[in-house]
Amino acid sequence: MSSEKGSEPLFSKKNKKLITDPLTDNNPVTIQVLGICSALAITVQVNQAIVMSLSVLFVIIMGNLIVSLLRNLIPSRIRIIVQLLVVASLVIIVDQVLAAFLPDLSSKLSVFVGLIITNCIIMGRLEAFAMANKPWPSILDGLGNGLGYGAILIIVAVFRELFGSGTLMGIPIFGNPLPGEESGLYAMGYQNNNMMILPPMALIITGIIIWVQRSRNKALIEEH
Amino acid sequence: MAINKESNQFTFGFAIGLVVILGVILAVLSEGLKPYKDKNVRIKKQLDILSAMMDVEKEGITRANAEVEFEKYVKLKDAVILDYTGKVKKAEDGVSAFDIDIKKEFRDKTLAEKDKNYPLFVAKDKNDKTRYIIPVVGKGLWGPIWGYICLKEDMNTVLGVSFAHKTETPGLGAEINKPFFMDRWKNSKIMEKGSFRKYEVVKDNSGAIKGDSKIDGITGGTITSKGVEEMVNRTLKIYATYFKNKKS
């Protein structure tokens, strides 16, 4: 990345790769297996997953930008602390804004917004990328990784909400499951799968995504 | 002038400067958003009160119209504040029953029993029947639990309850805010032969009969269930005295 010149176009091939790589062959969740904790916790509903993804997206882009701007000033002995400070402040901002404008979702996400601070993806990108790169590529890197994380979150949430509660974003898909007034699939004897609501199912679905991805691209399989 | 950014002075200066800047930003943000957050808390309280007396979802009451709907049903000017003996307290100037934070009073160990406030909300339902709504607060396993109990116009029969909790165990104690548990309280009577009758949260399934004072607890949520029992009995005893005096 050190060969950058002032005249480099904003969306050069290299910069585009910063966004597309984490979405596919270098996905932070399925390839690097980072940020799994939150992926398990808040993927019961698509709504929650979307808000969580946007929160992480905001924190990682802003965090990357700020750390990248300060990268030549940050004393190396306290760089991790400085990164933590920046991330923690951004997370508090997100938490406060959610509490003020999306109170219901905020209470559902509860501690998990606060736990964005400990999301390895964010600290990983700050330390590995933003500390060594210019602001613009850092923003793109944050965008790519945030989207990569969000994409997996939302895919898992779609499966879990659809088969666990029979809804998508709260909208009933399979009909009305209430006893006595069943309609749609429920009238034919269909039942929601409670297993889907439980955390282990998120792990299994993530595992299946990893399996599918690696069987399509054999180069991703690690050799031991 | 070249700065040695690895020197101790620079390291300390940088750390202090960054903390001060971030601190100021966060403080400003928190203060700026305070009105919104306070309003959300207020609306949540109104929704909780309403959900004790009706199916809020079915009535189409959401956060957006909660304030209007709340005023339609609950007449705050009829609300009274009781003391611990069940007598009506003289309201202090400017203190409305709605603004009394009973959770805070419950937590406050230094507050004498006689200084605690027990607000009672009076509401009218769609058919103009009077409803009495009693706020309750207590301790669960991990943290506070609270709720509202709505009595019918006879000041005796429970119309409905709404319970809430802060940090009870999901799937176990946290189930106290689920309809299956709250429905068990419906149609039970708080008084028998003119005096208060204690509720019992039981484990042996004997609470299955609807309308009596035995309520089935939640399996695996014993301490939370017992917390609900304690909270309801302690509070209702005070209100029962008030209702008894009012009826006679």
What span, in angstroms and rounded, lies between the C-alpha atoms of A7 and A186?
Answer: 61
How do strand A171-172 and strand B195-196 relate by DSSP bridges? unpaired
Q: Cα distance from B30 to chain A (closest Cα, Å)?
A: 7
Q: Does B63 sit within 8 Å of A104, measured CB to CB?
A: yes
Enumerate residues 48 to 67 of chain B having a beta carbon within 8 A of any beta carbon in chain A.
63
In a domain, A203, yes or no: yes
Are the beta carbons of B19 and A85 separated by less than 8 Å? yes
State the pTM of this model: 0.77
Q: Is B12 on the interface with A (CB under 8 A)?
A: no
Which residues have C-beta within 8 Å of that of residue B29, sequence separation ≥ 6?
A93, A96
Task: For residues A127 and A84, give the distance between their C-alpha atoms in angstroms, rounded to a whole number.
Answer: 10
Domain count, chain A: 1
Say how far apart CA A206 and CA A29 lie, in whole Å. Answer: 8
Please tell me the distance in Å from A33's CA to the nearest CA on chain B: 27
Give tens-digit pLDDT for B47-86.
Answer: 889 988 888 878 788 888 888 888 888 888 788 888 888 8
A179 touches chain B (CB under 8 A): no
Q: Among A81, A96, A104, select the one facing B29 at the smallest CB separation.
A: A96
Instruction: Kindly state whether residue A222 falls inside one of the protein's structural domains.
Output: no
To the nearest whole angstrom, how far is the Cα of A213 from the nearest Cα of chain B? 33
- Give the list of residues 6+ apart from residue B66 with CB closer than 8 angstroms, or none: B43, B46, B47, B50
Give chain B positions within 8 Å (CB) of A66. none
> A74 and B11: CB-CB below 8 Å?
no
Q: Which residue of B has its CA nearest to A73?
A: B5
Among residues 144-203 of chain B, which lie with CB inside 8 Å of chain A?
none
Distance CA B119, CA B81 (A): 4
- What is the CA B8 to chain-centroid distance, rounded? 52
Q: Are A75 and B11 within 8 A, CB to CB? A: yes
In a domain, A191, yes or no: yes
A140 in contact with B at a CB cutoff of 8 Å? no
A89 contacts chain B (CB < 8 A)? yes
Q: Which of B5, B18, B63 sits opposite A85 (nearest CB)?
A: B18
Q: 3-class SS at B122?
A: strand
Nearest 5°: phi and psi at B193?
50, 40
State which residue of chain A sits closest to B167, comparing Cα positions: A110
Number of separate helices (H) and strands (E) present in chain A: 9, 2
pLDDT in tens, B148-165: 999 998 888 899 999 988
Helix axes B8-53, B66-73, angle to 10 degrees: 40
Q: Report if residue A12 sits inside a domain.
A: no
* pLDDT tens-digit map of B76-94: 878 888 888 888 877 666 6
Q: What is the pLDDT of residues A83-138, one digit of tens each?
A: 999 999 999 999 999 988 888 888 877 778 888 888 888 888 888 888 889 999 99
Please give the C-alpha separations between residue A144 and each of A26, A134, A188, B43, B121, in angstroms, as whole numbers: 10, 16, 43, 38, 53
Which structural domain, as residue segments, surrounds residue A112?
27-217
User: Regarding beta strands B214-216 and B200-202, do their DSSP bridges make them parallel or antiparallel, or are they unpaired?
Assistant: parallel
In angstroms, the CA B58 to CA B53 distance is 12
Residue A18 placed within a domain: no
Place of tokens 């709404």: B162
Q: What is the pLDDT along chain A (224 residues), one digit of tens a residue?
A: 444 445 567 777 888 888 888 887 788 888 877 878 777 778 888 888 898 899 999 999 999 999 999 988 888 888 899 999 999 999 999 999 998 888 888 887 777 888 888 888 888 888 888 888 999 999 999 999 999 999 999 999 999 988 888 888 888 888 777 777 777 788 777 888 888 888 888 889 999 998 998 888 877 777 76
